[in-house]
Amino acid sequence: DARVTQTPRHKVTEMGQEVTMRCQPILGHNTVFWYRQTMMQGLELLAYFRNRAPLDDSGMPKDRFSAEMPDATLATLKIQPSEPRDSAVYFCASGLVLPNTEAFFGQGTRLTVV
Amino acid sequence: AQTVTQSQPEMSVQEAETVTLSCTYDTSESDYYLFWYKQPPSRQMILVIRQEAYKQQNATENRFSVNFQKAAKSFSLKISDSQLGDAAMYFCAYRVRGNTPLVFGKGTRLSVIA
């Protein structure tokens, strides 16, 4: 049963701490997306990768956020230092570069920064 | 920039009845894809239905169908024979070809009344 796996599912941290969220895309998928979901902004793209190379990270606050793909089986999203306004659900999705395909979503990481 | 608008923040429907969720979008592209995603309380993003812009025929998936009006840039979702399990947030989304990032609407919360 192929699925996108995100860890942790929930994270509570104090303001100023570093947070790392991990994503294991579906094996063979070459495109990975990071989205953030908040009540106010809805679902917005933070960054995405193709063949492990970043294609667009314009949605990400550069001073505190960073996204990487150390290898094809792992994508990471880091926040340092975290702030209360970063509280949100962070989704990872993966897919293939084919015209008629969809992106598959992980179950998300709910981050609370207190 | 592409935008997706869902004008109904909340909707309700009686069990076994039919409900239609509205979505409009703005794009200058001619080749694109439209999606409806369901997000139940588990927060998993589940693809409900997909429409290719080059296809004139409206997509259907069991009890779910769309009314795609390309000239009007409208993409509504019809749920027939509503079931309690259909209660969720529904997001309309758009992307161009090649598994590029999705642009989401703000969502419509659907309640199903027994």
Indicate yes or no: CB of A98 within 8 angstroms of CB of B52. Answer: no
How many Cβ atoms from other residues are within 10 Å of residue A20's Cβ?
Answer: 14
State the Cα–Cα distance between residues B102 and A97, nearest whole angstrom. Answer: 13
**Tokens describing residue B41:** 């309380």
pLDDT 10s digit of each residue in chain B, 114 long? 789 999 999 999 999 999 999 999 999 988 899 999 999 999 999 999 999 999 989 999 999 999 999 999 999 999 999 999 999 999 999 998 777 899 999 999 999 999
Indicate yes or no: CB of B44 within 8 angstroms of CB of A105. Answer: yes
- What is the nearest CA distance from A18 to chain B, expressed in angstroms? 24
- What is the nearest CA distance from A51 to chain B, expressed in angstroms? 13
- What is the nearest CA distance from A111 to chain B, expressed in angstroms? 13
Side-chain half-sphere of A114: how many Cα atoms within 13 Å?
Answer: 3
For A34, the 3-state DSSP assignment is strand
Residue type at A11 in one-letter notation: K
Q: The domain that contains B102 carries what CATH number?
A: 2.60.40.10
Q: Does B102 touch chain A (CB under 8 A)?
A: yes
Q: Which domains does chain A have, with CATH numbers?
A: 5-98 (2.60.40.10)
**What range defines the domain where residue B51 resides?**
3-113
Domain count for chain B = 1
